[in-house]
Chains A and B, each alone.
Chain A
């Protein structure tokens, strides 16, 4: 079983919808949680970064971490066609160096 599980999708939504993306993990040592966006044939780009449990909001994006359930989420409000990409969750231990990624969820926002 992988350390980080993420539904690969694809997830297809109409423009303007609220999107919910999720990951579960098994290693309680993870302390930092990230969401990366990856467009086709590009490298991952950091979207959101959260330390330990809690919520963080940045524009249309909200990241939530529930360490007690080992569950993290990314919400995208008012989704746009330009949000169509693969969304990767990633996490890392305190003082760690190795990012551990989920498999990525393919998101398609239809206009």
Chain B
């Protein structure tokens, strides 16, 4: 079946521009996650959705970052007034169920590579 898809795959923005990154999770997956991966680093957690509810946004680096999942499927990560330090790969992951005693796998998309000039 189809995996997690993300678009665009690459985005170049001028400093100060707003950008919107889209994630299509695996169909039926309840949980959705956004991670940021800087060059040469591992992914770092940004935010988590359970259906349409954003339950954890502790990793969002500033109030310029905003994520939504209005219908509990597709999610959008928006970055306002982009800065050079926002340049990174933004990864989306989905998980079939809620967290429970048995952790289920988070499946990752290919990422959106954002370059802010």
Q: Are B48 and A43 in contact (CB under 8 A)?
A: no
Expressed in whole angstroms, the Cα–Cα distance for A46 and B105 within the complex equals: 8
Given A6-B42, A44-B43, the answer on whether A99 and B109 have CB atoms closer than 8 Å is no
Q: Are B40 and A8 in contact (CB under 8 A)?
A: yes
Contact partner, B105, options A8, A49, A95, Cβ 8 Å: A49
Q: Are A92 and B103 in contact (CB under 8 A)?
A: yes
Given A32-B103, A43-B91, A45-B108, the answer on whether A97 and B48 have CB atoms closer than 8 Å is yes
Choose, from A55-63, A64-72, A75-83, A100-108, the stretch at the interface.
Answer: A100-108
How many of B's residues come within 8 Å of A, CB to CB? Answer: 30
Interface mask (B26-45 → A, CB under 8 Å = 1, otherwise 0)? 00000101010000111111
Q: Are A98 and B59 in contact (CB under 8 A)?
A: yes
Q: Please name all residues of chain A whose beta carbon is closer than 8 Å to the beta carbon of B31 when the two chains form the complex.
A: 97
Given A43-B91, A97-B31, A98-B48, the answer on whether A104 and B42 have CB atoms closer than 8 Å is yes
* Chain B interface residues (CB < 8 Å from chain A): 4, 31, 33, 35, 40-45, 48, 55-56, 58-59, 91, 93, 99-103, 105-111, 113
* Chain A interface residues (CB < 8 Å from chain B): 4, 6, 8, 31-32, 36, 41-46, 49, 51, 88, 90, 92, 94-104
